[in-house]
Amino acid sequence: IEWIFIVDALNFSFWSASTVSQKEMPNRQYSVTLEENDGGHTYRGYWTLCAAVNRAQSEGIPITDARYWISASDAELEHVFRGDAGTEAMPMLGDRIRVLREVGGVLVEKYQGRFTNMLESAQGSARRLVDLVVSEFACFRDEHEFQGRPVAMYKRAQILVADIWACFEGKGLGHFEDIDCVTMFADYRVPQALCHFGALEYSPRLMQYLRESERAVAEVGEKRAAGRVPPVPGLLPSGHQWEMEIRGNSIWAVELIRQHIERESGTRVSAILIDFYLWDYSKEYAKEMAAIPIHLTRSTNY
């Protein structure tokens, strides 16, 4: 449980500015190589986080202990998440350290240093656990305002519930009586897959902006691109109307897919499993979907 929690607490923003225009994995993208039974294996993207946590455990570092998150120095935590020689640093590493210290402080103060205690207090309710997570941890509050109305996406809080449910196969601590209330996890990869399958369609203006933004980030660098305001190509700010429309429509598209599957098959299906399939597909068939740009947002939300 504690391993799942640290991974989902840090599960955000793995795209690399060095790859967005090239649609490939150059050697300088942040990566973590582990020596395994069949030799060395190099991980990229989200899997670098899992690999770094596993490496820390193999080195005797108490990386799943909340007390370590608040007592370790920045240099020690930077060492935990170090990449392979010659590669970029982990994206948003400073923000990840800040998140660790925040959630670690809350767990130590209120839950005896263990997320498992918070999980048990939710009493088998996915909705209650999501509410607990976003109320206790400010860094999980994926909340915005859209055309004057409050909107909550809660990507990381929901995927935390889903990962526990999936890892425990819906049993024991992974049993949630209301697991179907969880939506898809609105990020930057699943919308790409939804566009690929025709379930989501970007307007010509938005598609042009996203494509030109990939080129802009590659040409002028991420820091300079972050200062641009849409429709000038660059990083799409978190909470911008276009970003929220992409994420919100992705949630609704997956819900429509879920309803269609249930209607046609007579079998209940969770939005979680549809999201898992689409995310896995987007990683396996990245080259086939290279013509569809992802939206480039730097955020702790996803």
Catalytic residue among 84, 142, 187, 275: 187
131 is catalytic: no
Helix (H) or strand (E) holding 212: helix 204-220
Residue 183 tokens, joined: 């939506």
Residue 24 has a CB neighbour count (10 Å cut-off) of 11
Q: List, by residue number, the catalytic residues.
A: 187
